[in-house]
Amino acid sequence: MKLQTERMIAQKDGAIGWITFNNPARHNAVSLPMWQGLFDAVTAFAEDDEVRVIVLKGAGDKAFVSGADISEFEEKRSNAENIAAYNAVSHAATAALHDVNKPTIAMIRGYCVGGGVSVALSCDLRIAAQGSSFAVPAAKLGLGYEFEGVRKLVDVVGPSFAREIFYTARQFTVEEAVTMGLVNRVVPVDELEAFVRGYAERIAANAPLTVASIKTLVAQTLKDESERNVALCKAVVDRCFASADYVEGRQAFMEKRKPKFTGR
């Protein structure tokens, strides 16, 4: 897949769609065109039935994403008008990632800072290499952090750890990140990509409708009860039971073989 900026790379490998932040000279700091590239890549993979899992990673061995590209701030984020324009693009990218109806994995090696944490939180799972570190340094820059970004962090780590992350603005080790629930798994550096690939392939082999239904249902549980779409919850469950994959799953179990799911 060819994107409008070479700083983002999107590649399909079997059932896995790989998205790479390709700005290693700046520790994969995200520029405005890169936010747009992220949106475009996620949207394309969302529409590709062959892709069942989306994995995000950073180029090189120093960083997943070190944050937004601060060198752009004077031009892109120096007044209310261009801040709003910048935020519209970056929010659209993280919203597309958060809302895509396919499992997403952040493969984290090295620094995961600021906007990198936001990207990682927009994924369903976060798998990190030993030695990785995490920080949200907004308080060191005088930045305001909008509600949606704070809410995503609170949903994952809870209010107390969210306060600690924002108040201190310090770097947290990967071990601390695990304790907080920010990271699902930690693996040795030289095993990271193989582990993530294996995990993604395991997920891709499962029934896509069931996996998608769980993503929908978990998202609904995080909403206030008054805002939950009960009809949608019932519909995604009913769709599983009405699917050809449900028939295939039962038959494969009885025949003691691996099922071959089609997402239908």
pTM of the shown model: 0.94
Per-residue burial over 69-84, b = 16 or more CB atoms within 10 Å of its CB, e = otherwise: beebeeebbeeeeeee
Residue 235 CB contacts under 8 Å (≥ 6 apart), including other chains: none
How many angstroms separate the CA atoms of 65 and 112, rounded?
5
Q: What is the pLDDT of residues 46-65, one digit of tens each?
A: 999 999 999 999 999 999 99
Yes or no: say if 39 and 77 are a contact pair by the CB < 8 Å rule: no
Q: What is the pLDDT of residues 150-192, one digit of tens each?
A: 999 999 999 999 999 999 999 999 999 999 999 999 999 999 9
Q: What is the pLDDT of residues 112-130, one digit of tens each?
A: 999 999 999 999 999 999 9
pLDDT value at position 146? Answer: 86
Q: What is the pLDDT of residues 74-88, one digit of tens each?
A: 555 556 777 788 888
What six digits make up the tokens of 238? 């009913």
Yes or no: say if 153 and 117 are a contact pair by the CB < 8 Å rule: yes
- Residue 142: pLDDT band (50, 70, 90) is confident
- Domain extents for the chain? 8-203, 207-254
Share of the chain above pLDDT 70, in %: 95
CATH number (3.40.190.10, 3.90.420.10, 3.90.226.10, 3.90.1010.10) of 8-203 reads: 3.90.226.10
Q: What is the pLDDT of residues 4-24, one digit of tens each?
A: 789 999 999 999 999 999 999
